[in-house]
Structure 1
Amino acid sequence: METHIGIKENDRLEIALELSKLLADEFVLYTKTRNAHWNVEGADFYNMHLFFEKQYEELDDIIDDVAERIRAIGHFAPATLKRYTQLTHLTEETREENTSLGLIKELLQDHLTIIFHLRENINRFATDLHDLGTSDFITGLMEKHEKMAWMLRAHLK
């Protein structure tokens, strides 16, 4: 059944593509945060292990929300690692060491990349693609990533 929600099909297709890129970014960041949780080393291991766990749990919820938004506008969410690596703005490669500071720097940069891409699309979704719902949705995601980035950045002081 076709989706009639007041947004043209061409616009919904473009929105779904941008959300699919976001979903890929979120999944890669989730995986890298899981890596940090599992592999962090150092005197602060236990506290950082718990910290990274809280972050990946929040990212898990975000992933589900993004996929469901794609479905709500009438498209299928990508769900393969191959497709995620094709769509993501991030790199799977970890360039830092497995200390808490090294992992935090890497994850912080990824959050900032996502924040910039979200910010670029807020007005575009609302104005150009006539989708206030997705614009509002990604504004909320941007705020979540800003808070997560702040939490990471606080460890670097």
Structure 2
Amino acid sequence: MRKLNIGLSDEQRQGVVELLNCDLADSYLLLIKTKKYHWDVIGPQFRTLHKLWEEHYEALTENIDSIAERVRMLGGYPIGTAEGFLKVATIREHAGSVPTATEMVARLVEDHEQIIRNLREHIDQCSDSFHDEGTADFLTGLMEQHEEMAWMLRSFIEGEALASDGSNQNANVKTPVGV
């Protein structure tokens, strides 16, 4: 078998593969959580959230495949088991709970923001430590997608306090002195 010769040492490639496998694990858990919330959501925003999460899990599915393929391009093997994902993921499941629609959104925002922070770190490591600008660029694209998804979800939560005329319903609430 011919040795991979793409201008990165085995150590550099292995370092990048480890980062990518962490990103893969987080993406997979986020996909599972997004699908579960898509199935479980109820309430007045059902249709809106059901459709939004369908868009998100479809994008996440494509991203997961791209991450796994990037691992293979670098001569590594992607994690492919639930056990493996759970070992390296930085986001956590919330097994056994069915939160309200707003709590679902808030949890997904937290997860997207965690992934964004990880990706920022991984982009820097790919460039600075492993000199793999291709993967750094790839991860930048993923980060931008997560930033957009997090923004959409945050906008949903922020919009709950708005009245139909666009004013903030909480603006007239007085905070007691000394609080």
Question: Is TM > 0.5 for Structure 1 vs Structure 2?
Answer: yes
Once the two structures are superposed, what CA deviation does each residue of 1:58-114 show, in whole Å capped at 9, x if it has no partner? 101110110010000011111000100001001011697532211000000000000
Where do 5+ consecutive residues of structure 1 fail to align? none
Larger radius of gyration, structure 1 or 2? 2
Distance 2:155 2:27 in 1: 21
Tell me if 1:123 matches 2:124. Answer: yes
**Which letter does structure 1 place at the counterpart of 2:63?**
I
Tell me if 1:55 matches 2:33. Answer: no
Where do 5+ consecutive residues of structure 2 fail to align? 159-179
Identity of aligned residues (%): 38
**Which letter does structure 2 place at the counterpart of 1:16?**
V
Q: How does 1:79-118 map to 2 (within 5 A)?
A: 79-93=80-94, 97-118=98-119
TM-score, normalised by the number of residues in structure 2: 0.84
Contact 1:94 1:106 in 2 (8 A): no
Contact 2:40 2:98 in 1 (8 A): no
How many residues matched?
A: 157
Shift of 1:55: 0.7
Distance 1:95 1:124 in 2: 36
Distance 1:112 1:74 in 2: 29
**Which letter does structure 1 place at the counterpart of 2:137?**
D
TM-score, normalised by the number of residues in structure 1: 0.95
Higher percent of residues as helix: 1
Question: What's 2:23 paired with?
Answer: 22
Once the two structures are superposed, what CA deviation does each residue of 1:112-144 show, in whole Å capped at 9, x if it has no partner? 000001101212211210100001010111101
**Which letter does structure 1 place at the counterpart of 2:123?**
I
